[in-house]
Amino acid sequence: MAASFHGGPTSKERKYDRQLRLWAASGQQALEDSRVLLVNSDGPLGANSTGVSGVVGVEALKNLVLPGIGGFTIVDPATVTEADLGVNFFLEEESLGKSRAEETCRLLRELNPDVKGDFNSEVRQPQRVEIFDLTLIIQPIADLLQDPDFLPQHKLVIISGPTKRSSLDPLIQRAQKQGIPVLYTHSVGFFATFSLQLPAEYPIVETHPDPESAQDLRLLNPWPELVATNAALDDLDSMDDHQHGHVPYILILLHFLEQWKQSHGGNAPDNYKEKTEFREFVRSKARTSNAEGGEENFDEAVAAVLKTIAPFSLRSTVREIFELEQCHNLNSESVDFWLIAHAIHFFYTTHGVLPLPGSLPDMKAQSADYVSLQNIYKTKARRDVEEVTNTVRQLETQLERRFPPIPDRDIEAFCKNAAHIKVVHGRQIPQISSNSDSITLKAIRTQLGFPDSLVSVFIATQILDGVVDEIQDTSNDHRSINDDALWKSHTERILALLTRDDPTPLDSDARENIHKAIQELRRAEGGELHNIASLAGGLVAQESLKVITKQYGPLDNTCVFDGARSRSEMYRL
Amino acid sequence: MISTDANSQQNRWKHLHKVLTKSGPYCDEDWVPGQETISALESSKILVIGAGGLGCEILKNLALSGFKDIHVIDMDTIDISNLNRQFLFRQSDIGKPKAEVAAAFVEKRVKGVKITPYVGKIQDKDEDYYMQFKIVICGLDSIEARRWINSTLIGMVDMEDPESLKPLIDGGTEGFKGQARVILPTLSSCIECQLDMHAPRPAVPLCTIATIPRQPQHCIEWAHQIAWQEKRKDDAFDSDDMEHISWVYNAALERGKQFDIHGVTFQMTQGVVKNIIPAIASTNAMIAASTTSEVLKIATSCNPYLENYMMYAGEEGVYTYTFEAEKKPDCPVCGNLARKLKVDPNSTLGDFIESLSERAEAQLKKPSLRTEEKTLYQRFPPQLEEHTRPNLGLKLHELVEDGEEVAVSDPAYTIDFRYKVIFSK
């Protein structure tokens, strides 16, 4: 990288500037350390068909190569056809008849010289772009899985559906065992669906909550230093207008809370009615005789009453995390997240609050007053981090972990975001089959009760999977993907499965919706429209980025996009 | 030879042609699929405004959706910070015009598409130019440019001539969020009707910047707005000049030290002075494809088009919300009633004018105002400015009646905005 000048950013920081503002250097590092596996096709979809065109996967890779993913592997036994040139932007006229994986890889690589590597048909070459031209292998992905080192090179797997079950099932099961997230996608005509399979416990620290909701000012349980600052502010009345108009609103609220408590048996405002009374009380103390006819700091105080005058309470999501087995019973194999979570739970049981995040919103104030108030919050936050760190270090010694010590910055980040940590309970790629999870079937039945639900699109893609599975698994099958009898038998099979656990027959609206979704799906005969595939590729990349950087909130677990009606929905199936 | 070529074309577009030659359950019952629809698609001339993050995607999507005659306008040149998402550009393209590089790339990659670039401003072109297109699709980061094309297309509508109505499809993104909308000029809610849904960020008060900074951003604003004026008055500030940014950064650092404010960084300095909005490839891909999808549906009727707004938020799973934004009868552009504007009758005309740039329902930076009877304030020509300047110090109630209509013009727009001034009590 070219050296920076004028103390400015490096050329790499300049190139990635617009994304570093979203996931910071830590997210970028995670991205650059990751390699993604794309399983883009798995044989023809029947007579007169060349198989999945796999544009969702290619477009998703485009959106990962641009921000600088470490590397990627494409598994795709197909050769380039005319039809590919009509949907896949990462192929050109000269690509006709050549390996689709190789050609796509070549043109994707042009997008970002940081994503290093070259064409190589050897299987193991970490941190390099590799291509598997496996035209002669009948079950390529199944064969690759024979090598136990193949899958673990990857941080994420993207599979382009429809893929026959005999290839899909071992892949998603193996990935699940090894804790590697999987995205399974479909893009047919105007429809796109995809599901994300995450490990059974998938923790996230940097959830990026809305800054407004992440504020924790502790006005009802101030610590001694904050109380002391406030005590210094005993004489508001003797201040001149300038001073009075620059008292930080936090101190205004603390000051009048004390007055309120004195006249309310020592209690702070407790319910909505009392809070509104308190708000009017604060409002009445603003000076209106000045030139501006009011005071901005008092306006801020009034506006903050309902939001900030509330006792500390633990969010239910965090309480649930504290109650999990992994949080309670640590062992030498426990990962960093659970060790810190355990230490923070200990802090909570000791103090009845979480570590203070320490950030202070901007407010009308003199510079020096604001800075000293900010320091009081920062100092307290630092002390809380120290306390948690001590607990973590003790735990590390007790457990005799063989991992390196947890970095201080991770403990600090955890403390700062403790109120907003999240654990996603990942589920397997959902399917409607005889061994379907009852939760999946129940969620689908519930959705079918809503007249506008798009779950019918998911059902239609499940029927498509069944049709393709039967064609691909029967050798010398000359039936086309447009075979009415095949569609009829798989539709009946899936509809029967939907009443497996709940025998109440589907109502006519639900049947009508499913029928329409099948009709729209079959209109495209399994083909992708570039535009919808590109849209799905955007969404799939978005989820990939969140999973790889372990930031924000990933999909849990299925999304349907309907391009005919310009809508999407999410389900936990 | 000809037949082989026709065959190859047929094979190439077979997926797309399937949805154009077969009806579906959500199509209009009267729609006739087939060759005529395909011809309608291929002969539709489309204008793309913007060849940036959204524009690159849109050009690719249109070309692979079977459109053959595409025009693209963009005045910008390629910068290094574009390369993380504007995938038609390479390191070696830095400094070249976006519209030309993007057009050439897609033309080369997709056989049979013609893409005509124009390097310049949308304001350079007149109604005759815009009249040649069937649909206009926007991928812009400027609200001002959106408002300009919106009012221009609405002004072009001639009720006698259905061809004069040009659907406007607009996309926009910020970080993991974005929106796509379809506007049928004069018939549905327009950009101006929806203006208050895209309120500008509130500016930091000048007195905070000048005397009581508390945040690193305040120090940067001081260096940018005040220190530069004092120390380097003769250099026009250029936010793309690294030396200028460095100067502001160092001045802001100094100011931070003086007030004991930490956290001024180079990255933050750039963000504040350039008003940088985070942008990534994946969000652009999602929004650009939604807009192109609507263009395809409008051009071919192969499925119903979006009525009329879809917002997307990707921070927490995949969330979209599709709804019909309302057409406002008091929209200053497409409505026929003046928009109500609450004002304090005791504030001065000057304060009122300043507030117009920030008020979500106005967002006008250089407004001139007049009532039916008199000119309140006129910026051009200079003689008139001088003549009306004293009004700036007068209170509003001395100049207008409660409920009186005020026409506001702004050099950024071709039309007058009509407001009805309502006195607050």
- Where does B206-274 sit in CATH, by number? 1.10.10.520
pLDDT averaged over every residue in chain B: 92
N- to C-terminal Cα distance for chain B?
81
CATH architecture label of A11-197+527-571: 3-Layer(aba) Sandwich (3.40)
Q: For chain B, give every residue range classified as CATH 3.10.290.20.
A: 339-423
Give the model confidence (pLDDT) of B49-68 as tens digits. Answer: 999 999 999 999 999 999 99
The rounded distance, in Å, linking the Cα atoms of A553 and B20 is: 38
Q: Bigger pLDDT: B237 or A164?
A: B237
Across the strands, what pairs with A156?
A36
- Ramachandran quadrant class, B355 (left: phi over 0; alpha: psi -120 to 50; beta: rest): alpha
Q: According to the model, what pLDDT value does residue A475 have?
A: 64
Per DSSP, the residues of B249-265 read HHHHHHHHHHHT-----
Q: Find the helix packing angle between A316-323 and A336-351, rounded to 10°.
A: 110
In this structure, what token pair is assigned to residue A238?
């003797």
Q: Give the list of residues 6+ apart from residue A444 with CB closer than 8 angstroms, or none.
A: A432, A455, A458, A459, A498, A571, A573
Q: Which residue in the set B64, B276, B283 is minimally distant from A530, CB to CB?
A: B64
CATH architecture label of B2-175+279-306: 3-Layer(aba) Sandwich (3.40)
Chain A residues with CB under 8 Å of B246 CB are: 6-8
Residues B198-206 have a mean pLDDT of: 83
Q: According to the model, what pLDDT value does residue A484 have?
A: 92
Give the model confidence (pLDDT) of A253-312 as tens digits. Answer: 999 999 999 999 999 999 999 999 999 999 999 999 887 788 999 999 999 999 899 888
Closest Cα of chain B to A209: distance in Å? 9
The rounded distance, in Å, linking the Cα atoms of A310 and A353 is: 13
- pTM here is 0.92
In this structure, what token pair is assigned to residue A410?
């991770």
Query: Per-residue pLDDT for B255 more than 50?
Result: yes
Q: According to the model, what pLDDT value does residue B374 have?
A: 87
Least Cα distance to A522 among B1, B22, B265 occurs for: B22
Whether B85 sits inside 8 A of A21 (CB atoms) is no
Polymer length of chain B: 425
Give the model confidence (pLDDT) of A24-35 as tens digits. Answer: 999 999 999 999
Q: According to the model, what pLDDT value does residue B6 have?
A: 77
What ipTM does this complex have?
A: 0.92
Query: Per-residue pLDDT for A121 more than 70?
Result: no
Query: Per-residue pLDDT for A6 more than 70?
Result: no
Least confident of B21-25, B287-291, B354-358, B368-372: B354-358
Least confident of A123-127, A158-162, A230-234, A446-450: A123-127
* CA within 13 Å, CB half, A443: 19
Give the model confidence (pLDDT) of B159-176 as tens digits. Answer: 889 999 999 999 999 999
Please state the φ and ψ torsions of residue B114, each to the nearest 5 degrees: -115, 125
Query: Per-residue pLDDT for A523 more than 70?
Result: yes
Per DSSP, the residues of B153-202 read HHHH-BTTBGGG---EEEEEEETTEEEEEEE-TTTS--TTTTGGGGPPPP
Q: According to the model, what pLDDT value does residue A148 have?
A: 86
Closest Cα of chain A to B297: distance in Å? 8
pLDDT band at A81 (very low <50, low <70, confident <90, very high): very high
The rounded distance, in Å, linking the Cα atoms of B335 and B326 is: 11
Across the strands, what pairs with A423?
A203
Least confident of A142-146, B117-121, B365-369: A142-146
Query: Per-residue pLDDT for A138 more than 80?
Result: no
pLDDT averaged over every residue in chain A: 89
The rounded distance, in Å, linking the Cα atoms of A96 and A324 is: 55
CA angle, residues B298, B302, B308, in degrees to nearest 5: 40
Query: Per-residue pLDDT for A251 more than 50?
Result: yes
B207 catalytic? Reply is yes
- In terms of CA atoms, which chain B residue is nearest residue A512? B25
Chain B residues with CB under 8 Å of A208 CB are: 315
Q: Residues B56, B190, B193, B207: which is the catalytic one? A: B207
Cis peptide before B205 (omega within 30 of 0): no
Q: Give the list of residues 6+ apart from residue A23 with CB closer than 8 angstroms, or none.
A: A31, A545, A549, A551
Q: According to the model, what pLDDT value does residue A7 have?
A: 62
Least confident of A2-11, A236-245, B353-362: A2-11
Q: According to the model, what pLDDT value does residue A131 have?
A: 41
Question: B339-423, what's its fold?
Answer: 3.10.290
Whether A531 sits inside 8 A of B261 (CB atoms) is no
Using DSSP's 3-state secondary structure scheme, residue A397 falls into helix
**Measured between CB atoms, does A94 come within 8 Å of chain B?**
no
Kindly list the domain boundaries of chain A, sorted by start residue: 11-197+527-571, 224-308, 316-424, 438-523
**Measured between CB atoms, does A242 come within 8 Å of chain B?**
no
Q: According to the model, what pLDDT value does residue B364 have?
A: 86
Whether B276 sits inside 8 A of A18 (CB atoms) is yes
Give the model confidence (pLDDT) of A345-394 as tens digits. Answer: 999 999 999 999 999 999 999 999 999 999 999 999 999 999 999 999 99
Q: Return the top range by mean pLDDT from A166-170, A310-314, A327-331.
A: A327-331
Residues 136-195 of A with CB under 8 A from B: 189-190
